[in-house]
Amino acid sequence: MQLEEFFDYKNRLMKTLCSNGEIVRLITDNSESPVPNYTLAYRLVYPYEYVPDTVDDGKTFVCFDVDIAEVVDKTFYIPVLYLWVFTHKSKLRLDGGGIRTDMLCAEIDKELNGNRYFGLGELDLQSVGRFSPITDYQGRVMVYVAKDFNRPRPSKKPPVNRKHNG
């Protein structure tokens, strides 16, 4: 794996989140929001850990980042994908029942758990925990792990078992 591919994980994840109708609906709290909705990028969906300074009206945020947790050897390393999902307390309860952040995490997990677009093989959910970044906001932090190549293959071609979506 090359580091540029590692950094491309963020672009791929932004596209995935903004293209899923249920995820967009839960973030925007609007069933009429267009899908894909790339206007969410850098407004409510951030490819880095983001905490708003002040928020006058209740909003829902999804932030994510990728680290290399471990270099196993010359062949592999372990990328770790973090997602922070949080919302204002006024938006937590869903009209149909349930908690917005829990439902949003479930929808994100449907897209990511077992996904073959990130890393070599499947992306695996490692943990989900509570997250409260600022006053009146509550949420979850989700952690996924994968395995990927540390160095490029001599042929420069991507691995045959890696799924590509163009």
Contact (CB, 8 A) for 85 and 103: no
pLDDT at 118: 82
pLDDT (tens digit, 9 = 90+) per residue, 32-82?
999 999 999 999 999 999 988 766 688 999 999 988 877 767 767 788 899
Joined together, the tokens standing for residue 94 give 């869903």
Q: Identify the band that residue 109 occupies on the pLDDT scale cut at 50, 70 and 90.
A: very high
Mean pLDDT throughout 121-132?
Answer: 93
Task: Report if residue 79 sits inside a domain.
Answer: yes
pLDDT at 84: 98
Number of domains in the chain: 1
Residue 1 has pLDDT above 50, yes or no: no
Task: Report if residue 159 sits inside a domain.
Answer: no
pLDDT (tens digit, 9 = 90+) per residue, 77-106?
788 899 999 999 999 999 989 999 999 999
Task: Report if residue 155 sits inside a domain.
Answer: no
Helices marked H in the chain — which ranges?
3-19, 21-28, 100-112
10 Å Cβ neighbour count for 56? 6
Q: Identify the band that residue 19 occupies on the pLDDT scale cut at 50, 70 and 90.
A: very high
The CATH number covering residue 106 comes to 3.30.70
Give the strand pairing for 76-88 and 60-71.
antiparallel
Joined together, the tokens standing for residue 64 give 């994510």
Task: Supply the range of the domain harboring residue 105.
Answer: 3-149
